[in-house]
Amino acid sequence: MVSKLNSIYHLLVLKKTAVSIVLFLFLIFFIKENISAQEKNRPCKVSLASIANEYTGDCKNGLANGQGTAKGIHRYVGNFKEGLPDGNGTYYFSDSTYYTGNFQEGIKEGKGEFHYVKGNADSVVKGYWSGNEYRGKKYITYEFNSATKFDRWEITPTSQSGNSITFELATTSGSPRGLPNDFYGNPGYVLTLTELHSNDPLLKFIAKVDNPTISYSTYEISKFPVILYGTLSNGENFQLDLYKRAKWKVRFFINK
């Protein structure tokens, strides 16, 4: 009799546990559905003023994110990221011209086509844009006018967005820390970045690190396109125009 009662007790416990699990899963499902419904009903913001009056499409955290259509003075149909046109899309201007192609943070960046009416015929400009400006048939993201001052140089942006630039400077025998570099105790030919200014009033110095042979300097940039003017420890000056918003890496090397 006791054994039978124990069996009944364990069966009731199992049923109660199963009911609790079902109720718990139902509660989770209800909460997720409720959050999803709230997300759908929440106003979705477009951060570009010229197309910010109306929006229909995907939304995330209150911002246009994914595929959508936005209208204002102009109209945009395509991909959004954090409230701005980002990725592939088409931007229709109020004068019937339009651009179709790639965007980054609300501006034209990458391959695209600009369509307009010339005379009675439709015309198109095909190529690449960077920093919202047409750059030609090749994807040009910067301009550097001081290449002859270096034996090797390399300027590269990340494919993703960013707002910084790091300079890496080195020579064959240099020692930015001033450490002896040869048998006689000479420090070698030292190359560092001594000054950097630009047309960006908010250009901000972040950090400088001098390794035994290489000097690194990092700055934060608030706007793009930007023009940078630099001075090196050997007295040389350079100008660097950056079009694309990115995390930039610049390497300068002198064989000396």
Co-location of 130 and 152 in the same domain: no
Domain containing 73 equals: 49-136
Co-location of 54 and 110 in the same domain: yes
| pLDDT tens-digit map of 21-73 | 655 555 565 555 554 444 555 689 999 999 999 999 999 999 999 999 999 99
Least reliable range by pLDDT among 159-168, 185-194, 230-239: 185-194
Co-location of 125 and 177 in the same domain: no
| pLDDT tens-digit map of 75-113 | 999 999 999 999 999 999 999 899 999 999 999 999 999
Residue that is written with structure tokens 């009944």 in the block: 8
Q: Name the domain count of the chain.
A: 2
Q: Which band of pLDDT confidence, cut at 50, 70 and 90, is reported for residue 135?
A: very high
Instruction: Say if 28 falls within a structural domain.
Output: no
The CATH number assigned to the domain holding 89 equals 2.20.110
- Domain boundary pick from 86, 116, 136: 136
The residue type at 158: T
Between 182 and 17, the more confident residue is 182
Residue that is written with structure tokens 């396109």 in the block: 225
- Domain boundary pick from 96, 112, 136: 136
Co-location of 147 and 250 in the same domain: yes
Q: Which band of pLDDT confidence, cut at 50, 70 and 90, is reported for residue 121?
A: confident
SS3 254: strand
SS3 81: strand
Per-residue CA distances from 17 to 27, 84, 147 (Å):
15, 49, 74
Co-location of 229 and 156 in the same domain: yes
Q: Which band of pLDDT confidence, cut at 50, 70 and 90, is reported for residue 179?
A: confident
- Domain boundary pick from 79, 113, 136: 136
Q: Which band of pLDDT confidence, cut at 50, 70 and 90, is reported for residue 8?
A: low
Instruction: Say if 37 falls within a structural domain.
Output: no
CB count in 10 Å sphere of residue 233: 16
The CATH number assigned to the domain holding 162 equals 2.60.40
Classify strands 164-171 and 63-71 as parallel, antiparallel or unpaired.
Answer: unpaired
C-alpha 149: how far from its chain's center?
Answer: 30
